[in-house]
Amino acid sequence: MRSDTIKKGLERTPHRALLKGTGMPQSALEKPFIGVATSFTDLIPGHVGMRDLERFIEKGVHSGGGYSLFFGIPGVCDGIAMGHKGMHYSLPTRELIADMVESVAEAHRLDGLVLLTNCDKITPGMLMAAARLDIPCIVVTAGPMMSGRGEAGRKYSFVTDTFEAMARYKAGVIDAKELAVCEDNACPGMGSCQGLFTANTMAILTETLGMSLPRCGTALAVSALKRRIAFASGEKIVELVTNNVTPRQIMTRAAFENAIRVDLALGGSSNTVLHLLAIAREAGVELPLETFDLLAKETPQLSSMNPAGEFFMEDLDAAGGVAGVLKQLGDKVKESQTVMGLSTLQLAASVENVDEQVIRPLTDPVKKEGGIAVLFGNLAPKGAVVKQSGVSAPMMQFEGTARCFDAEEQAMAAIMEGRIVSGDVVVIRYEGPKGGPGMREMLAPTAAIMGMGLGDSVALITDGRFSGGTRGPCIGHISPEAAEGGPIALVADGDRILLDIPNRKLELLVDEATLATRRAGWSAPEPKIKTGWLARYAKVVTSAYTGAVTTAD
């Protein structure tokens, strides 16, 4: 066992003394050391229930014949960090989380890991660490939140009934009393936000990749099923250690293609593009950005999930969950192994019934193409990403007038003050991985545009990124970013911009001579943050089209 390095032999007498100082009995020295990386925190609804799941993981590890050792991993709630300085830190924490898990596992020579996670950047950070370490690992995602309930069976959800409700109140559509009702009902308890936002999309993709047990991606945070999955994951990790089943055996090219197809079929968060690219890089799997678009053109959208659609995570779980989606995708799914020991095809075959109102068959899709599209053009030579599942038919092709802002706050103020009008293209730049730094999510301005009733007449483009809760014609991840001198830095107020999602184009309708003159006069702005670790992050982070990973190159 790896852990023999710290517990076997005369020269490890001091090491054993320290281990026994934790209360470890002599008998535990003969068992696999299973690290449990837990991101429990009182700060995030998706994580407050983890103390309960920790108990069941611990029971499972010890029942399986291992010895569990817990250590903490930080988490940031994107919803709470939204719209202020805090959001600069969200995406960068993904790299910190991967580094922390690696550091603890290597320093203490752990034999295997259970990764207890849930929200937006924590789950991909954990998966990056698993791929990098390539020691036996299993992921337990803590589960989605139940939808809020109101009168006459109305369901409430976080984004629709907070960010968008705020804009509806500003526009006079709802009053202060109704806004307060939304606030009180949007988040009824523990769990990750109810729709197919980034946290739940990543939980689903983790299961699809084969790194968590069946139903883990959709089982509700409050359910007894989630407890049983936690226990079974604790038992399973000891088996994985015994058989030396490692993440790189699971997370193959076929597994990533399956994950992308499930993402496309459900219309998931555009953030998954960044995360899957980063995880694949750690796993040694070549996964170009173009792969998402190639698969999108041949993978229909099979479900209408909140926030752009009608169904919540509780509906998807009851309808058949991840295995149900795999079953409906049929021969588009590739054979890939899972930590369960069954292949993806076996898991799909194990599903007897799928609720086809929630997960439609290939012959009757919600849309002919998958939920994510990758755009190119003179505004995005290295690509841009749009969640086309959330774009209405009239806005799939749109030409508008540029309104430029060099920070999210400037754009948000213009939207809320009524200075953005029908026919505008809101351009938010210097919010990319380097320029932000940290590539802030733009949920507030996108939700404000929808809430102000402009979703079918205003587009938004940015070198930043969007929440999984975003809907509407919002194009992010524009590469190269403004801080690197990308074309988005050269856009001027009044320019015409063409958005053509069916033909995958994003064009600035300005002649090359004019752009050359602007380029000659452009210079990189002063960094927005000059101190702390974000200043270091900005120097080593790569572009969005590579997954916004950090590199020593």
Which residues form the catalytic set?
Answer: 467
Alpha-carbon distance 187 to 194, whole Å? 8
Question: Encoding tokens for residue 302?
Answer: 């099979």
Closest CA to 298 of 272, 320, 330: 330
Residue showing tokens 């490692």: 246
Block residue for tokens 């299961």 = 207
Separation between Cα atoms, residue 141 and residue 143, nearest integer Å: 6
DSSP class of residue 139 equals: E
Asked whether the beta carbons of 81 and 87 are under 8 A apart, the reply is: yes
Task: List the structure tokens of 63.
Answer: 């029942």
Q: Dihedral through CA 510, CA 515, CA 516, CA 522, nearest 10?
A: 170
Q: Report in angstroms the alpha-carbon separations of 387 from 196, 266, 267, 292, 528.
A: 12, 11, 7, 12, 28
How many Å apart are CA 28 and CA 37, to the nearest integer? 19
The candidate with the shortest Cα–Cα distance to 238, out of 39, 28, 8, 72, is 28
DSSP tag of 47: T
Q: Could you tell me the sign of the dihedral formed by the alpha carbons of 281, 286, 290, 291, in that order? A: negative
Q: How many CB atoms lie within 10 A of CB 232?
A: 21
